[in-house]
Amino acid sequence: MRIAVENVMAEVIEATPGELEWLIKYIRCKVKKYGKIYQKGEAPETIVSTGWFNMYEASSRKFAAGLVPVVAKGAALEGMQVAVEDDRAVPCTPDWPSVDVRWLRDYQLTAAQRASHGGRGLIKAPCAAGKTEISIALTRALPIEWGFFVHRAELTTQAAKRFEIRTGEQAGYFEAGRWRKGTSNFTVATFQSITSSLRKGDVTTKAFLEELQGVVIDESHAIAAETYYDVLMRMPNAYYRFGQSATPFHRGEKEKLLTLGALGPILYKITMPRLVDVGALSKPTIRMVECYQNCWNGEATFARVYKEGVVESVVRNKQIAEIAKIARPPAMIFVEKKAHGKELTTMINRRGVKAEFAWSGDRYDKLEKLKDGRIDVLVCTPIYQEGVDVPELKSVINAGGYSSAVASVQRMGRGARLAGDDDNTFDVWDLYDRGQHWLEDHAEKRKLALEAEGFPVEVLR
């Protein structure tokens, strides 16, 4: 098989019928379409139809260029050879010995160097690994026009300030269809701003995307893969394409294919245990307390089970409140529903523990109260799951249930930042639900997600 590669797409130049048949099957995945009832969380087993999502465009014989390394590896395992003709123009190459990046830790420098030589792909790194620092180093080693895309507006400000601290230059901003260039080659933007402008047919946004030669998708797991896939397909001159995430492949096969196609495979992996060993992160102790409930018949919907077995469960909420009582302060408790957070906050305060609940506008004020000791526990919805720096945190309690590996890992990461004291440890608590198959399945998936990060999980009975 012979494949020609460009920045956006790869084209099959030559292939036997058997090779082409294999390729089409290899870069597709089965997708399920659920009914509206499922979308409301009431019947997970209700599947309307099953079909295929295929990355190969038969009319043009093309597929997303990020999949080329995956295709080559898969073909080799089948005994097929793939000849890749790289037609891309390399805008520049790094000369790392001459680049002043003295602020980088050793693993950050390795990640940046691996990325710059790889051209495109994913950097898998946990919270507090310094992913923004790696991106800044790339802009120093590769003096091209860079875009740094985030999923929340406040993260643009954080990244721009970090860039100024490290380089002494000002980052540019792209928002509302307007490009305000700084004094550097680094521009920050939210995906919401980019996609909103594109929907309106804004020519400035189109021109901005076409001018970029390098792009970094920060916390790529937090953005729908279809969204950044569509945006990256509009960057014909972006040779360097990178994504950063602790959990890049935890959202299904379709999302994985789109992520690989837009960005490429994992180039470098930084593990939490390694960062603990080098003194970059605090070490977690992870415990799941067994919680047994059996009060539903076989006809119960998931919505009913979740409401009665998690949000309104007296048994389960009492156990969480007792955990909050013994947990080392300051502590954060994550819930999914507002009603759940309010109930837990009341129960915790009744036990003599100072707790408040945050879910919207005043969340930053309450976060400061947690940091300076005015409260011991902050109960919150997923608004604090990402982009929040609380190095003082000693306990994280995941009370919301569900099965999301992304949520489990991101919430654990809230406690991973070093506090600057002698005790570089923190505790992670969860409930190991028993007695109902959906809750049991979700608890086991949370346990496996935490164990996959390299730390043992103790189940307390």
Q: How many CA atoms lie within 13 A of 109 on its CB side?
A: 11
> Stretch 25-46: mean pLDDT, rounded?
65
Question: In the structure, what pLDDT confidence band is assigned to residue 42 with cuts at 50, 70 and 90?
Answer: very low
Residue 37 has pLDDT above 70, yes or no: no
Query: Residue 111 has which token pair?
Result: 């990640």
Treating both helix axes as pointing N-terminal to C-terminal, what angle do 338-350 and 314-326 enclose, rounded to 10 degrees? 60
- Whether the per-residue pLDDT at 165 is higher than 80: the answer is yes
Instruction: Take residue 439 and report the two structure tokens written for it.
Output: 């809750």
Residue-averaged pLDDT of the chain? 90
Q: Give the model's pLDDT for residue 207.
A: 95
**Mean pLDDT confidence for 172-192:** 94
Q: Which residues of 277-293 are buried (b: 16+ CB within 10 A; e: fewer)?
A: eeebbbebebbbbebeb
**pLDDT value, residue 39:** 44
Q: Stretch 364-371: mean pLDDT, rounded?
A: 86
CATH of 2-86, one of 3.30.780.20, 3.40.640.10, 3.40.50.10470, 3.60.20.10: 3.30.780.20
**CA–CA separation, 415 and 281 (whole Å):** 9
Quote the pLDDT of residue 362.
Answer: 66
Domain 96-270 - what CATH class?
alpha beta
Which residues share a beta bridge with 245? 124
Q: How confident is the model at residue 413 (pLDDT cuts 50, 70, 90)?
A: confident
Q: Is the pLDDT of residue 215 over 60?
A: yes
Instruction: Please name every residue paired with 85 in a beta bridge, in sequence order, or none if there are none.
Output: 4
- Looking at domain 276-460, does it have CATH number 1.10.760.10? no
Task: Tell me whether residue 322 is exposed, middle or buried, using C-beta atoms within 10 angstroms of its C-beta: 0 to 12, 13 to 18, 19 or more.
Answer: middle
Provide the pLDDT for residue 397.
94
Q: What share of the chain in percent tops pLDDT 70? A: 93
Which one is predicted more confidently, 224 or 420?
Answer: 224
DSSP string across 23-68:
HHHHTEEEEEEE-HHHHTTS-TT-EEEEEEEE--BTTTTEEEGGGH
For the ranges 215-229, 248-262, 410-424, 444-458, the lowest mean pLDDT is seen at 410-424
| pLDDT tens digits, one per residue of 309-351 | 999 999 999 999 999 999 999 999 999 999 999 999 999 999 9
* Boundaries of every domain in the chain: 2-86, 96-270, 276-460
Q: Are 459 and 443 in contact (CB under 8 A)?
A: no
Confidence at 424, pLDDT banded by 50, 70, 90: confident
Q: How far apart are CA 301 and CA 446, in angstroms?
A: 21
Distance between CA atoms of residues 45 and 193, nearest Å: 36
* pLDDT over threshold 60, residue 44: no
Whether the pTM exceeds 0.75: the reply is yes
pLDDT of residue 146: 98
Q: Do domains 2-86 and 96-270 have the same CATH topology?
A: no
Q: Which residue in 405, 408, 407, 375 sits closest to 393, CA to CA?
A: 375
Nearest to 221 by CA among 191, 193, 196, 199: 191
